[in-house]
Amino acid sequence: MINFLNTRTSFLLIALAVGWTCVYGQNTDKMDTLSYSVGMILAQNLQQQGLTEIEGQSLKEGILDVMEADRNAKMDMNQANQVIQQYLAQKNLSQFEENVKEEEVFLKKNREKDGVKELPSGLQYKILEEGDGPIPSATDRVTTHYHGTLLDGTVFDSSVKRGEPATFPVNGVIQGWQEALQLMPVGSKWRLFVPSQMAYGERGAGDLIKPYSMLIFEVELISIN
């Protein structure tokens, strides 16, 4: 669900503005200044959430429908939040459509290569080294060495480069890793080709992993802890 913490703060200011109407009475100058200030803060917070195109009259109606008890809103809060999420997801998809196309082309070609296997989820992998140890479950903690890159070869994270393996719960990592780790015997080294929806999807992660970015990992499963 979208985090509207800052926007909620703005709505508190709007409530304050409505409440202060009783205090100020007919002092319209003070109320105009306060209301304008609230509008500025609300607009800034909406922009930070990615809502850069707003129809003013409808925005005003939405605010009043919630703030005034004698008005009936056109939808409930869950529906309103769903509309916003769908809008932001579509806007994000169109902005990073090239990433989606690159992923589709890569996976189509990659599944035809020798040694590459594909799971029903869309996750592809290639076994670089066979292990013969136990296979972890979702609730296990594991220690691994890994090296992660984008499709263009950019390294975004690597325990190998840091020279220190990483330990974490299997169910605490991205979906692509969770699925792969529960198939890997200890001692295995696999190359994972993780579709964006099994990685960070429409959100992305940090500065390097943009929304809808497919990720490639070399993962060595060292031990189950």
pLDDT in tens, the chain (225 residues): 233 334 444 455 554 544 544 444 456 677 788 878 888 888 888 887 767 778 888 888 888 888 787 788 888 888 888 887 777 667 666 668 888 899 999 999 999 999 999 999 999 999 999 999 999 999 999 999 999 999 999 999 999 999 999 999 999 999 999 999 999 999 999 999 999 999 999 888 988 999 899 999 999 999 999
**Locus of tokens 């890997």:** 184
Cβ contacts of residue 18 below 8 Å, gap of 6+?
Answer: 67
Q: In this predicted structure, what is the pLDDT of residue 84?
A: 79
Residue of 84, 125, 157, 222 marked active site? 157
Whether residues 27 and 122 share a domain: the answer is no
Q: Which of 140, 223, 149, 136 is nearest to 191 (CA)?
A: 149
Boundary-marking domain end, from 60, 95, 130: 95
**157 is an active site residue:** yes
Whether residues 42 and 76 share a domain: the answer is yes
Whether residues 143 and 189 share a domain: the answer is yes
**212 is an active site residue:** no
Residue of 146, 193, 212, 222 marked active site? 146
**146 is an active site residue:** yes
Whole-Å CA distances, 173 to 31, 190, 208, 211: 50, 16, 18, 17
Q: How far apart are CA 38 and CA 32, in angstroms?
A: 10
- The total of structural domains in the chain comes to 2
Residue numbers of the domain that contains 134: 97-224
**87 is an active site residue:** no
Phi/psi at 185 (nearest 5 deg)? -70, 150
Whether residues 83 and 16 share a domain: the answer is yes
**4 is an active site residue:** no
Q: In this predicted structure, what is the pLDDT of residue 48?
A: 75
Boundary-marking domain end, from 95, 110, 126: 95
Widest Cα–Cα separation across the chain:
81
**125 is an active site residue:** no
What's the whole-model pTM score? 0.64
Whether residues 132 and 217 share a domain: the answer is yes
Whether residues 113 and 184 share a domain: the answer is yes
